[in-house]
């Protein structure tokens, strides 16, 4: 069983997350497009007395790669998608090439969707991933408190003033 799969774990936020989880003695698989970057990250992360690290080369914009990744994993507790090819994206919108924008959409949007499609589900062979969004919160269920109406929005002083704190 793998405790965590970190897609985009070869650098940046994914590498930092892998370092943190390994210090907690977890089994972590880091995934990325560059075998060289993953090898470098693995060498940096491997330490005696820490969790087990493995790597997998895959492009999150390619459905075949994502399907193969999860076909080789029997059980997984957590999946984090931190991958983003943001080269050339930062700056004014008019200065970003359309091809560059398409590449980031493929990585961040399509890649995450493919993980949801091929990743662990409710089947007995795979462990469930808690589904969460801003609507459902950390528990993955619809909140029980009432939603504000258009009328209640008028008198509210701040967008969070009516909402109970999250647990």
- On the question of pLDDT at 128 being above 60, the answer is no
Architecture, CATH, for domain 2-129: 3-Layer(aba) Sandwich (3.40)
The predicted structure's pLDDT at residue 141: 47
pLDDT of residue 49 exceeding 90:
no
In the predicted model, what is the mean pLDDT of residues 19-37? 93
CB 25 within 8 A of CB 34: no
Domain extents for the chain? 2-129
pLDDT at residue number 154 = 44
Q: Which of 8-12, 51-55, 70-74, 162-166 has the lowest mean pLDDT?
A: 162-166
Residue 118 contacts by C-beta under 8 Å, 6 or more apart in sequence?
Answer: 63, 66, 67, 69, 70, 71
Mean pLDDT of the chain: 77
Nearest Cα to Cα of residue 10 among 64, 75, 58, 51: 58
Indicate the pLDDT class of residue 92, thresholds 50, 70 and 90.
confident
pLDDT value, residue 93: 86
Between CA 44 and CA 130 the distance in angstroms is: 30
DSSP string across the chain: -EEEEEETTTSHHHHHHHHHHHHTT--EEEEES-HHHHHHHHHHH--TTS--EEEEE--TT-HHHHHHHHHS-S-EEEEEE-----TTTSS-GGGS-HHHHHHHHIIIIIHHHHHHHHS--SSTTSPPPPP-BTTTBTTTS--SSPPPPHHHHHH-SSTTTTSPPP-
Residue found by looking up tokens 């390994």 in the block: 22
């Amino acid at each position: 069983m793998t405790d965590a799969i970190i897609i985009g774990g070869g650098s940046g936020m994914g590498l930092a997350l892998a370092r943190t989880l390994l210090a907690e003695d977890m089994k972590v698989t880091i995934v990325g497009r560059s075998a060289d970057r993953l090898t470098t990250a693995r060498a940096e992360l491997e330490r005696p007395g820490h969790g087990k690290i493995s790597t997998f080369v895959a492009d999150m914009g390619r459905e075949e790669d994502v399907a193969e990744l999860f076909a080789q994993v029997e059980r997984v507790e957590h999946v984090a998608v931190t991958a983003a090819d943001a080269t050339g994206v930062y700056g004014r919108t008019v200065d970003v090439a359309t091809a560059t924008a398409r590449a980031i959409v493929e990585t961040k949007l399509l890649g995450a969707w493919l993980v949801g499609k091929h990743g662990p589900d409710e089947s007995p062979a795979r462990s469930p991933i808690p589904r969460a969004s801003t609507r459902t919160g950390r528990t993955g269920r619809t909140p029980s408190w009432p939603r504000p109406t258009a009328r209640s929005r008028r008198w509210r002083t701040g967008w969070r003033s009516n909402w109970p704190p999250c647990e």
